[in-house]
Amino acid sequence: MARGQMEILGLAIIVVLIMLGVLFAVMFVLRAPASNVAQEYKESQLAASLITAMLGTTTPCNDASVTELLQDCAVLNRLECPAGDSCAQAQDAIGQMLAGTLETWKRSYQFSITGAYNVEQLTFASGDCSGERESSTNPVPTPGGALQVRLDLCR
């Protein structure tokens, strides 16, 4: 075989090897799981939306919202409600909302409130929260300082 033919054969082999490498790279890229940006966004907004909806919900206690119940529970605790005082009514309302949403959907979560002794007793949890979490915190102003309402959704 002539020297020129050997060089062309070598170049052809190199081109075939490069094409095989590109083919394998394309196969791995196409097999990678597609990220669903819309679903990820919905997951990230779920915790914030749930807290906002919970705090704005009206209760049977003098038509007070959950926010107003928490404010009363943290400072004065003077509202008389069907479930007892404002702390008991807030606990009942929040528990019902969490059971009707996250527990029905079989989602693990942790719900807590910090900032005042009375409201720190209002904690709820369901399932295992040892992995990744999507968290949202919402402040509730009171005369004694802000309460921090926190919801962790576990994955």
Which CATH number belongs to the domain containing residue 146 in this structure?
A: 3.30.1140
The pLDDT of residue 147 is above 90: yes
Q: Is residue 54 part of a domain?
A: yes
Residue 62, sorted as left (phi over 0), alpha (psi -120 to 50) or beta, turns out to be left
Per the confidence metrics, is the pTM higher than 0.75? Answer: no
Pairwise CA distance, residues 121 & 87, whole Å: 9
What is the domain extent for residue 149? 46-154
Pairwise CA distance, residues 86 & 147, whole Å: 15
Q: Is residue 2 part of a domain?
A: no
In the chain, how many domains are there? 1
Q: Is residue 62 part of a domain?
A: yes
Question: Per residue in 56-74, pLDDT tens?
Answer: 999 998 899 999 999 998 9
Q: Is residue 51 part of a domain?
A: yes
Q: Is residue 7 part of a domain?
A: no
